[in-house]
Structure 1
Amino acid sequence: MGFSLSAPLWRHPAFAEGARDMAGITLGISAWGLVTGVAMIKSGLSLPLALLMSLTVFAGSSQLASLPLLASGAPLWVLWATSFCVNLRFLIFSAQWRQYFSHESRWLRMAIGYFAADLNYVAFLKRFPDGQPGPEQLPYYWGGVVVNWSSWQVPALIGILLADQVPTQWGLGFAGVLALLGLAYSLLSDRNSWVSAAVAGCAAVAAYALPLRLNILVAIAAAVAVGLLMERWVPPVRSKA
């Protein structure tokens, strides 16, 4: 069920299916990547560090959350704590994907973890909701991540390389916010996630006066707490949309 030289994954019909499912949302991902690339340079990162961050971190939300902290000289523990909290959702993604890929080799599972992304998770679970491993799942996954990774990295690298040519009055920060909102909306699939998102927004606004962007940590903590409580006490109701 893993990669086979005699039958490359990219030749499997599910590979093309995964790519098609991700192709429709690449515009928002590309806009977000471009904004993040420009933001890294505008925040004071050198070109080599920005390139290294884009290629190794591959987590746009934590990158955007950490850049203002880097620019303001925040302590390292605040930077790490913010990135950790922002990326906690990948722990949930990994627990779900474990049902499908736990039989694969450690190195392959590590590669799957690196390329994991929010919308790949949504598309994958929509395509394979039963939690049972199957031969078409790995090709489908790689088809989706090839499109997702490319649509993020190419605009991000363009943004990094051409950041000095982009006027600040273009308002790319607002474009990034719109891209993030669009991606976040696609993840709100039931009542519990909507309530958690609303709590996070209110908490972020209420704690806005905190230094070092600590309102982000407050919002994440509040959303996680409410989400866990609702999962325990309130059965999720799926959105009809």
Structure 2
Amino acid sequence: MSLSASVRATALHPEFRRGARDMLQVSFGVAAWGLVTGVAMVKSGLAPPLAALMSLLVFAGSAQLATMPLIASGAPMWVIWATATCVNLRFVIFSAMWRPYFARLPRWRRCLIGYFSGDLNYVIFMKRFPDPTPSPAHEPYYWGGVATNWSSWHGSSLGGIALADVIPVEWGLGFAGVLALLGIACSLLQDRATWLSGGTAASAAVAAYALPLKLNILVAIAAAVAVGLGIEATEDAQRRARERAEEARR
């Protein structure tokens, strides 16, 4: 199948429309966050063309907001790169979780999926398909969500860049984005592992708030990952022990 035919078949699939519709539920928060990010980049001293380029290439609002103060203050390049990398470490986890769904696709398509992936895409996709059993509906649903998420983000981000001089930061538009992300984060707290990891991250971020260059973010991520991996390893060991005990009884 040619590329154009594949794109057309994906866009016409019923799951594409469902993915786009499901993402509409959080599109206001995404748009508010994108608008704030666009305004913040310009008000931090970045020229509008560079801000637009950064928005399109980076496509990660948290990393953009975390690195802008560092860029404005003239922080070393390695600190900027390290901060962006640490903030975006969650995408490694997203990619690992998405692997059972998209591993069969060609490498270039998986790379494209990786670029367009986002926090809300991940959450909504996993709610729709909790079972990683291969299905032709996975990719159309994913791209439907991307269509809404990508357009909401970049439309508002580029609008914020263009209107940065007339939009006062006192409007507090970032609060809408924070509420959207907070709601999504709370929806992920479904078991003991996620509750403990989330609580650890929040506690670590607050405890390390005084660290310079927003290093408390790195501390929170490292602590949450460590707790999550520890719980997962413990649960796997317990499950294997139960399986061995059941086999022994047979």
Give the TM-score taking structure 1 as reference length: 0.89
What is the CA deviation profile of residues 19-62 of structure 1, one whole-angstrom value per residue up to 9, with x for unaligned ones?
Answer: 11111111111111111111111111111111011111111111
1:198 and 2:187 are equivalent in the alignment: no
Secondary structure of the corresponding residue to residue 166 of structure 1: coil
8 Å contact 2:19–2:143 — kept in the other structure? yes
> In the alignment, which residue of structure 1 is the partner of 2:86?
85
Same amino acid, percent of matched pairs: 66
What is the CA deviation profile of residues 204-228 of structure 1, one whole-angstrom value per residue up to 9, with x for unaligned ones?
Answer: 2222222222222112211211222
Alpha-carbon distance change, 29 to 186 in structure 1, aligned in 2, over 3 angstroms: farther
Return the offset for 1:172. 3.5
> In the alignment, which residue of structure 1 is the partner of 2:129?
128
- The aligned amino acid for 1:22 is M
Return the offset for 1:168. 2.9
Aligned 1:86-235 pairs, distance under 5 A: 86-233=87-234
Return the offset for 1:170. 2.0
Secondary structure of the corresponding residue to residue 165 of structure 1: coil
Q: Structure 1, unaligned stretches of length 5 or more?
A: 236-241
8 Å contact 1:15–1:139 — kept in the other structure? yes
1:5 and 2:5 are equivalent in the alignment: yes
- How much is the aligned-residue C-alpha RMSD, in angstroms? 2.0
User: Which structure shows the higher helix fraction?
Assistant: 2
Secondary structure of the corresponding residue to residue 164 of structure 1: coil
8 Å contact 1:193–1:227 — kept in the other structure? yes
Secondary structure of the corresponding residue to residue 8 of structure 1: helix
The structure that has the greater radius of gyration is 2
Matched positions, count: 235
Q: Structure 2, unaligned stretches of length 5 or more?
A: 237-250
What is the CA deviation profile of residues 78-102 of structure 1, one whole-angstrom value per residue up to 9, with x for unaligned ones?
Answer: 2111111111111111112221212
Give the TM-score taking structure 2 as reference length: 0.86
Alpha-carbon distance change, 175 to 128 in structure 1, aligned in 2, over 3 angstroms: closer
Return the offset for 1:63. 1.3
Return the offset for 1:158. 0.6
8 Å contact 1:69–1:213 — kept in the other structure? no
